[in-house]
Amino acid sequence: MSLPISTPLPLLSGAPHERRDAARNREALLAAARELVEREGACAVTMEAVAAQAGVGKGTVFRRFESRAGLMIALLDHSESEWQAQVLGGPPPLGPGAPALDRLLAFGRSRIEATLGQRELIAAAGGRVRTSGAFGFVLMHVRLLLAEIGTEGDLPLLASSLVAPLDVTVLEDQVLGQGMSVDRVYDAWADLTRRVVRR
């Protein structure tokens, strides 16, 4: 029952010990998927195609990413991290340093654009986005900004209500389906937000 002192603590490393070949395959698969997505669009990203392109078996894809939705989320991870970095440490008004309301409005604009920009992947990820860390971050961010503004009420749910209209399905319907302009959608969201935070 002795603790081997040489074992490095997991610290914050995401994967709690992934074998080297496994890690290599993960990278190969991500690269393959990225290539497929840019060459033929997200809907061409079939699990078998990714496996073939990466030169591994289909089972491996599933072991690494659990499901198609999981793979999509992994693909989104990069851009999502970048976006989070902008929010957390980028220039105002999206990043810190601006008044909270300005940050909130900038957040909305940025989210609309980011979501529409990646709509294929996000849609392909389906409902699973909700359980992804990225989504939690968004919710938390809005909630904190609302608190900073001094908004009263059930902040978690209020935040959720502000985020809900930014869902891919909603935006796709409005912009692609109904032909509304992004500006108009954003203006309406900003209006909504101002009404919500107005004291």
The residues, any chain, with a CB within 8 Å of residue 111's CB and separated by 6 or more, are 138, 166
Q: 67 is in the binding site of which of DNA, a copy of itself, none (Cβ under 5 to 8 A by kind)? A: DNA
62 binds DNA (CB under 7 A): yes
Phi-psi region of 179 (alpha: psi -120 to 50; beta: other; left: phi over 0): left
3-state DSSP assignment of residue 12: coil
Shortest separation between residue 190's beta carbon and a copy of itself, angstroms: 11
55 binds DNA (CB under 7 A): yes
Shortest separation between residue 38's beta carbon and a copy of itself, angstroms: 24
AA identity, residue 149: I
The contact pattern for DNA, residues 14-43, with x = CB under 7 A and - = no contact, is ----xxxxx-xx------------------
Q: Which is nearer to a copy of itself, 12 or 164 (CB)?
A: 164
195 binds DNA (CB under 7 A): no
How many CA atoms does the CB half-sphere of 166 hold within 13 Å? 29
Q: 27 is in the binding site of which of a copy of itself, DNA, none (Cβ under 5 to 8 A by kind)? A: none
Shortest separation between residue 61's beta carbon and DNA, angstroms: 8
Residue 166's closest CA among 147, 133, 138, 141?
138
Shortest separation between residue 87's beta carbon and DNA, angstroms: 30
The CB-based long-range contact list for 35-39 (8 Å cut-off, 24+ gap) reads 37/75, 37/120, 37/121
Applying CB under 7 A, the residues found at the interface with DNA are 4, 18-22, 24-25, 46-48, 55-60, 62-64, 67-69
